[in-house]
Amino acid sequence: MSPAALQSLLPSDPSSIAGYRLLGRLGAGGMGVVYLGRTDNGELAAVKVTHADQADQADFRARFRREVEAARRVSSPWAVPVTGADPDAPEPWMATAFVPGPSLGEAVTAHGPLTERGVRILGGAVARALAAVHEAGLVHRDVKPGNVLLAVDGPRLIDFGIARTTGETALTSTGMVVGTPGFLAPEQAEARAPEIGPPSDVFALGCLLAYAATGRPPFGTGAVDALLYRTVHDEPDLDGVPDGLLDLLRACLTKDPDRRPTAEEIAARLTEDTPGAAADWLPAPVVRTIAERSAAMLALPEIDATQLDASDTGDQPAPSRRKFLLLASGGGVALAAGGGIAAWAALRDDGKEDRKAGPTPKKRRWIIGVHADLTGPAKNIGRAQERGARLAVEQFNARKDKPFTLELKVSDDGGDKNRALAAARVLTGDPDVLGVLGPTSDYTGLAALPAYDEALLPLITVSAGSNMLINANLGQGLSMLQACPQHAIAGTCLAYYVLTKTRSVRPGILQDRTDDTYAWQYIGGANFAFRQTGLVPVPRVVPAGTTDYKRVLGEMMAEGMDAYVHCGLTPSAVLAARALDELGFTGMKITGQHVFEPRFPAEAGDAAEGWVLGAPVVDATTVKAASPFVAAHRKRYGAAPAFYTGESFDAVNILLQEVEKAAKGGKRPDRTELVPLLRKVRYQGVMGGYVFDAQTGELHPGAVGTFMYAVENGRYKPLEFAPGGPPKKRRT
């Protein structure tokens, strides 16, 4: 965990635990809370405290004790050490040394892959840490980018929560996959418990190093089932791995555990020296991040410089930041920073930090940001979202009792994921921005997310439904609220609609792999819903670029398909519509969000008639409660609001409601404290009700959902909300 993720303590939080003064929250989940703690001599630690109700469970306390014991058995400079623990306390806790650097996943996502030298240093250090793990008779079982923290003097392996003694199977049931898909071995993917051992960690290390070298996992991304299948059956994608590392990574990633090298052998083959105090093994932006986070330690309460002379009194000048760093307790900040001082020294500009303060800073502004695609493929959606945000801000400013005046700041990513991070930094880099609406699409959202998470700047999307935007395994989604259903949930809604409206007994579901992640989420949700009611669908997966849909769909009809769910994008939906029309198919034809655009009925023509589409938006002109909003939009823009405008209006008003509540007495709130407040919101907007999961920020199933439309005379005719569950009694 990093200082960028530090949140204020809650009133219910303790102020200290077993000699650790608690300075803030680093994270929280269903099992407990992780705090940033400090000892009396200045040492910083990540203090993990379990919930009392969990501690009452004997099996949970036993697992926690095993985690503590496992971490204590590992002795390596490249593994984060345990500095204290009490598994028998009323609320069991464990403290580990605090490393302020980013995780490997965060660094690669934000700044790209490492150099070959950087990968060698990373691999050598993590291999040595794993060698120590294996020497202690343990298997880590979760070597992934989120579990490797970066410091200038080398990486640190963390998290022994699922580590197990070699050969231990009592807690690894047959059929239970343990680890992170995309970074686990084939024997883990197939839950072959007796075969899981040190070679499994070596395979995961190979995945980790391929990711560090290329910026992508070697078995791709997407739905869990797809990742597990590729891990077991496909060859790794090592395109872009430096030639000097290819043979080693291929050896690590062989399917046969017995043919993989040991961790000691990997460390020996990666002969690059350890970095010491040099910062050049990491990209400069990563070093800068480490330096900034190390410097942020100075702002924490009661970390004081050591006095040079107890007799020094009177009007002595305050120590400069450099002197502060050099004088700070030797066992405290310097060690806790994990090389942060070296990073600061590598990047600082001598003479600048000791200058006197400049002019009085400008008066702070109150800004709401919009991150959208305004000029790219989804520009119609992005512009609608901007209009919704602008109306919300203008409505707020028109209030006579407004406590402050708002501004709107817009950043356009053009729908290009390569521009998304820069577009995000336009907003996160402005300290006056209090929250952001957006981004418009899944992939610009994923590319931009590291900037928002690092700044802990609230981010509300009404159109990006990828479940990867909130992914605890990758340590991301700290700032995100999804005011729309996730794609997998939307897929279940499509299936429930089929079950409610038809007599289907053999529904067909087809995945177009053009957008593999989106389609996998939809088909997974639909398949779950159908099987929940005992139906066995007719499935098909077609490669990107497939054009012969008549043959594929004809085969599905021959197998008894009586309803059709299309999990893919508009071009393939157009081909499917034409093919089904030619084949004379009369069952329900249904698809989801990424086909819900004017292009589908325009290109499919008569073949689109009767198709049903689900999307996370409602036609505002059909909602009685939205009448004042629709009138305001007509007055402002001369037309009825487009899809996504009303939802954006609601999302910005959710932000404004919580900002105003937090602005007690007109005092500007700390934007980093707003996300937990927003996730507890129950808000009734003009387009419906919004409730979020307090831990993840995803939309609660009981909130606004997927709305259904039918194509009629080339237009989308509003129908109703899709059911949130299977019908109590099937139509017969």
Q: What integer pLDDT is reported at residue 12 of this predicted model? A: 77
Q: What is the dihedral of CA 637, 643, 646, 652, to 10 degrees?
A: -100
CATH number of the domain within which 684 lies:
3.40.50.2300
Give CA–CA dist 711/95, Å, rounded. 59
What confidence tier does 595 reach under pLDDT thresholds 50, 70, 90? very high
pLDDT in tens, 177-199: 556 888 989 998 888 888 889 99
**How does residue 339 score in pLDDT terms, banded at 50, 70 and 90?**
very low
Query: Residue holding tokens 């690894």?
Result: 172
Q: Which of 102-116, 304-318, 642-656 has the highest mean pLDDT?
A: 642-656
Q: Could you tell me if 379 and 458 lie in one domain? A: yes
Indicate which residue of 142, 515, 619, 650 is catalytic. Answer: 142
Same domain, 567 and 631: no
Q: How many domains does the chain have?
A: 3
Q: With beta carbons less than 8 A apart as the criterion, state whether 683 and 660 touch.
A: no
| CATH number assigned to the domain comprising residue 241 | 1.10.510.10
Same domain, 606 and 650: no
Do 457 and 491 share a domain, yes or no?
no
Look at 53-67, 447-461, 593-607, 694-708 and tell me which has the smallest mean pLDDT. 53-67
The yes-or-no verdict on residue 274 having pLDDT over 70 is no
Is 295 within a domain?
Answer: no
Q: Is 726 a member of any domain?
A: no
Instruction: Answer whether residue 339 is part of any domain.
Output: no
142 classed as catalytic: yes
Give yes or no for residue 330 having a pLDDT over 70: no
**Per-residue confidence (pLDDT) for residue 4, from 0 to 100:** 47
Contact between residue 66 and residue 60 where contact means Cβ atoms under 8 Å apart? no
d(CA 151, CA 286): 9
Q: Which residues contact 486 (CB under 8 A, 6 or more apart)?
A: 465, 466, 467, 521, 698, 699
- Helices vs strands, H then E, count in the chain: 24, 24
Q: Residue 314: inside a domain, yes or no?
A: no
Q: What's the pLDDT at 665?
A: 74
CA–CA separation, 614 and 591 (whole Å): 6
Average pLDDT in the 158-179 region? 52
Three-point CA angle 352, 353, 358, nearest 5° = 75
Residue 625, pLDDT above cutoff 90: yes
For the chain, the 3-state helix, strand and coil shares in percent, each to the nearest 5, are 45, 15, 40
CA 632 to chain centre: 36
Q: What is the pTM of this model?
A: 0.57
pLDDT at 301: 55
- Do 515 and 610 lie in one domain? The reply is yes
pLDDT band per the 50, 70, 90 thresholds, residue 325: very low
Instruction: Give a yes or no: residue 63 inside a domain.
Output: yes
Last residue of a domain, one of 269, 290, 317: 269
Minimal CA–CA distance to 417: which of 393, 442, 400?
Answer: 442
Q: Do 219 and 128 belong together in one domain? A: yes
Instruction: Give the residue from 235, 269, 303 where a domain finishes.
Output: 269
Residues 67 and 194 in one domain: yes
Report strand pairing: 707-712 vs 612-615. Answer: antiparallel
Residue 567 belongs to what domain range? 487-615+709-721
With 70 as the cut, is the pLDDT of residue 392 above it?
Answer: yes
Cβ–Cβ under 8 Å, residues 321 and 297 = no
**Which residue, 243, 269, 295, sits at the end of a domain?**
269
